[in-house]
Amino acid sequence: MLADLILVVHFCIAGFITAGFVLIPLGASAGWRWVRRRRLRLLHAGAIAFVALESLAGIACPLTVWEAMLRGGTSGETGFIGDWLGRLLYWDFTPAAFTLLYVALVLLAVWLWRWIPPQAP
């Protein structure tokens, strides 16, 4: 059960990062002021930067490691929700492909920061 909770938290973090890349430009064009909140933007940029740095350093995500440890080092028998969240979260690409993706997303976050700047502190 704890492994499933970790999977849900991991999925929510990935969802937050992904949603930010969609909602920040969409919200800026729609005039949504909340997309310019500095704390939100720092959290978003910091989250993807953390993921990219982990990948560049060759370190597995602690949530992935913890979940696998709680499942006995294997996946399977996670239940319906756990199975689908796992399919959405864990893709079958090479580590280099993920590193390239994460670095590109950090560059996108930096570009969004400059194109749609957050409110001044």
Residue predicted with more confidence, 109 or 3: 109
pTM for the model stands at 0.84
Question: Average pLDDT of the chain?
Answer: 89
Q: How far apart are CA 10 and CA 67, in angstroms?
A: 10
What integer pLDDT is reported at residue 46 of this predicted model? 98
- The per-residue pLDDT for range 1-55, each reduced to its tens digit, is 898 899 899 999 999 999 999 999 999 999 999 999 999 999 999 999 999 999 9
Q: Which of 39, 53, 51, 35 is nearest to 115 (CA)?
A: 35
Percent of the residues in the chain that have a pLDDT greater than 90, as a whole number: 60
